[in-house]
Amino acid sequence: MLAGLWARLLTGQVNSSPIAEIGVNYSYSQLDTFGSDVSHENGGSVYGEYLFSPEPSRLFRGMSTLGIAAEFSGTGAASGRFYSYLVGPRFNNEWHKSHLNAWGEFALAGAHASAYAPPVAGSGGWISRNGVSFGVADGLDVVLKKRYMVHLFQIDFTYVKLPEIPPGSGHGGGDLRISSGFGYRFGER
């Protein structure tokens, strides 16, 4: 199925135009920022995706597309903030009769976390770190009138590798995020 899609894309034998989509989400996040601290945060994300031409799917009885998605998200609470920018491939499968679109993606990019450290012996305050992150996500959308999307849910798990104090040590943490929102599509199928 995917080999046939790539062959059609490379040879220019594509029968329908590509789709682009942009949207916003509200997010609730459980973030392990530094050490064993767990932070529950609220925030949002902005995303965009470019989907290559659809291919009929015999396996899933729908329309499958392969594309690339990018997302910038930020969540925060009184004790910390977390920003991530992710990009990676996305696989969609849309069932036109039910107006449902299920998707999954793998993403790789960067992250920025900041946390408040209580003063100890004269030092303390906000600590900020940049690092790398990668993650997986899946979701379920409802398509309204071919142009509008309602994201019923999106579940992301992102692994984050951040430098820790003292310098040279490292800390790996996880961000589990649940999101819901709206999107708008450009292009025709």
Number of domains, the chain: 1
Higher pLDDT, 52 or 10: 52
Q: Is the CB of residue 181 less than 8 Å from the CB of residue 152?
A: no
Find, among 71, 93, 58, 88, the residue nearest to 181 by Cα: 71
Asked if the structure places residue 74 within a domain, the reply is: yes
CB neighbour burial string for 143-157, b if at least 16 within 10 angstroms, e if fewer: beeeeebebeebebe
Domain that holds residue 74: 20-186
Asked if the structure places residue 31 within a domain, the reply is: yes
- Mean pLDDT over residues 101-115, rounded? 88
126-149 confidence digits (pLDDT tens): 778 888 888 899 999 998 987 899
Contacts of 166 (CB under 8 A, 6+ apart): none
Asked if the structure places residue 134 within a domain, the reply is: yes
Give the pLDDT confidence score for residue 189 in this predicted structure.
59
Separation between Cα atoms, residue 71 and residue 69, nearest integer Å:
7
pLDDT of 12 strictly over 70: no
Q: For tokens 């996305």, name the residue.
A: 90
Asked if the structure places residue 155 within a domain, the reply is: yes
Name the band, by pLDDT with cuts 50, 70 and 90, for residue 26: very high
Q: CB atoms < 10 A from the CB of 176, how many?
A: 15
CATH of the domain at 173: 2.40.160.20
HEC per residue, 134-184: EEEEEEEEEEECCCEEEEEEEEEEEEEEEECCCCCCEEEEEEEEEEEEEEE
Asked if the structure places residue 173 within a domain, the reply is: yes
Asked if the structure places residue 7 within a domain, the reply is: no
83-100 confidence digits (pLDDT tens): 889 999 999 888 877 889
Asked if the structure places residue 14 within a domain, the reply is: no
Asked if the structure places residue 4 within a domain, the reply is: no
